[in-house]
Amino acid sequence: MTLPVKQSYINAFIVYLSVFAAGTVLLEIAPTFIFMMEEFEVNAMMVGFIAAAFVMGFAFFGALALFKGVALAEVNLRLSLTVGTGIVGIFGFLVGFAPNYWSMWVFRFAVGFACIMLIVSGMLLAISWFPLEQLNAVVLSGTVSMVLGTLFAAFFGSKIASIVGGWRSMYLFFGGIGLLAFVLWLILGKAAPCATDGGGLVSSEKSPAVQVITNGYVWCSAGMLYMLLCYLGIFVFLFIALAGDFDAAVASKAMVFPLPYYVSAVFNVVVMISGSAIGLWLLTKTGRRKPFSLIPGFCAPILGLVIFSLPFAVLPIIIELIVLAVFLLMLVVPTWLVQLQELPGVDFGILVNTIGAVLLIAGIAGTVVPIAIGWALDQGWAVFKGTLYFFVLTWLVCGLAGLLIPEPEASK
């Protein structure tokens, strides 16, 4: 059963608007890092811990999906979307009112949990919303929406803060996008029929978690997803690193740039989005998988090292390199999504558990990144830059993981 075309696109738009809002919450911390340290009177590692809260939400949902996949599969998925959009909207908005450090952490954790719940629930519901030939493109749109939200917050967050009256007002602005999506879903999306509610995803295994977690290819898939989560963790510190030293970062914490910067950012975000479409088209056209993880996995670290080595004075060049690196990242995302469905030893009955395992493994690894880099910043600039370079080099894991996963014809 599929929905009428118009209703399908309305539903998908609302869900991915909420995911976009969650993405802005994730990386709105990048242009406001120094403000957070001053507001809560904490060191850089503790702000890194706040940044990691979002990804911890990913990992927590992954644990639930891994060990309770059957129960999750039996939940009404439309209800999951209602709860997910509600959490993103309400808690994303409350971030702007957080009275203390730990309330900020809890709100961000909740948004991260809801964001990945929306992406996974949307992935499963797309089966009844869209024809089979459109599934990969629709599912891909969820992850792209989140990445687009992170870039929007990173590139334009400081400018929005200067317009709306400060970083807390900027947080409220981004949270308001989530609230809008929640209201739209309640009005337009909650009555959508679904063919997969409570059926078709239950494993015949009593305990599929062990079967999934001992599958080496699941760990490879987690290695590919780690590249995305590591990128998000590193880019929390983007503007601090580009400033050249910590004192310069504090002095330039307002970070309002000339108009050409924002024009370039808009243009390059469009270029970045095309990476996912090109990646999916190439996957379909060639039937190959490995090149689209190998090439980004080995080229993106080189770009990352160059980006964090350039002075702030050449910001336009840095923007171009960032978008090129993200373009390569967006080639990986459709590859990861397609390979996740093709992993040897994984069938539809344990798909939810498999997704959970991948999210749990990658989420734990991704959580370490902002905390470790924040700790390094507290130790001094040299330690900070060295740690930053180390995690950029860990993007190589993606290329190696893609190399280990066999092509579809090889696994038959």
Across 373-402, average pLDDT: 93
Rounded distance, CA 136 to CA 113, Å?
A: 23
Lowest mean pLDDT among 98-102, 141-145, 219-223: 141-145
Query: Could you count the other beta carbons within 10 Å of the beta carbon of residue 152?
Result: 22
Q: Is the pLDDT of residue 2 over 60?
A: no
| Any domain includes 5 | no
Q: Is 6 inside any structural domain?
A: no
In terms of C-beta density within 10 A (0-12 exposed, 13-18 middle, 19 or more buried), how is residue 30 classed?
buried
Of all residues in the chain, what percent carry a pLDDT higher than 70? 87
**How many folded domains does the chain comprise?**
1
Say how far apart CA 48 and CA 317 lie, in whole Å.
27
pLDDT score recorded for residue 203: 47
pLDDT at residue 133 is higher than 50: yes
Q: Which residue has the higher pLDDT, 5 or 13?
A: 13
The pLDDT, as a whole number, for residue 328 is 84
User: pLDDT tens across 360-382, in order?
Assistant: 999 999 999 999 999 999 999 99
Name the residue type at position 215.
N
Average pLDDT over residues 143-160: 86
The per-residue pLDDT for range 227-241, each reduced to its tens digit, is 989 998 998 998 888
**Confidence class for position 200, pLDDT limits 50, 70, 90:** very low
- Whether 380 maps to a domain, the answer reads yes
What's the pTM value of the predicted model, to 2 decimals? 0.89
Higher-pLDDT residue of 65 and 191 is: 65
Distance between CA 334 and CA 327 in Å, rounded?
12
3-state class (DSSP) for residue 131: coil
Q: In the predicted model, what is the mean pLDDT of residues 75-96?
A: 89
The CATH number for 102's domain is 1.20.1250.20
Higher per-residue pLDDT: 67 or 251: 67
Span 294-319, average pLDDT: 84
- Average pLDDT of the residues of the chain: 84
Q: What is the mean pLDDT of residues 120-124?
A: 81
DSSP strands (E only) in 199-313: none
The per-residue pLDDT for range 13-46, each reduced to its tens digit, is 899 999 999 999 998 898 888 889 999 999 999 9
In a domain, 270, yes or no: yes
Q: What is the pLDDT of residue 52?
A: 96
User: Helix, strand or coil for residue 328?
Assistant: helix
Q: What is the pLDDT of residue 22?
A: 95
For the chain, give the percent of residues with pLDDT over 90: 37
pLDDT value at 280 more than 90: no
What pLDDT was estimated at residue 260? Answer: 67
Among all chains, which residue has been given the structure tokens 């993106």?
A: 300
* 261 token code pair: 């910067």
3-state SS assignment for residue 46: helix
Is there a domain that residue 180 lies in? yes
CA atoms within 13 A on the CB side of 393: 6
The answer to whether position 2 is within a domain reads: no
For residue 402, is it within any domain? Answer: yes
Of 175 and 129, more confident: 175
Burial letters for 178-192: b for 16+ Cβ neighbours within 10 Å, e otherwise?
bbbbbebbeeebeeb
CA proximity to 31, closest of 171, 177, 172, 155: 155
Residue 344 has a pLDDT of 84
Q: Is residue 221 part of a domain?
A: yes
Name the pLDDT band for 207 (thresholds 50, 70, 90).
Answer: low
pLDDT beyond 50 at 204 = no
Nearest to 357 by CA among 229, 225, 209: 209
Check whether 193 has a pLDDT greater than 80: no
Q: Worst-scoring range by mean pLDDT, 13-27, 174-188, 323-337?
A: 323-337
Q: pLDDT at position 360, please?
A: 95
Among 209, 182, 160, 151, smallest CA distance to 329 is for: 151
pLDDT at 128: 67
Check if the beta carbon of residue 85 is closer than 8 Å to that of residue 122. Answer: no
Q: How many CA atoms are closer than 13 Å to the CA of 123, on its beta-carbon side? A: 22
Q: Is the pLDDT of residue 284 over 60?
A: yes
CA dihedral 119, 124, 125, 127 (to 10 degrees): 130
Find tokens 């059963």 and name the residue: 1
Domain encompassing residue 388:
11-410
What is the reported pLDDT for 352? 83
Local confidence band at 250 (pLDDT 50, 70, 90 cut-offs): confident
- DSSP assigned state of 253: T
Q: Which tokens in the block code for residue 252? A: 């330039």
Judge contact between 96 and 59, C-beta under 8 A: no
User: Average pLDDT of 385-408?
Assistant: 89
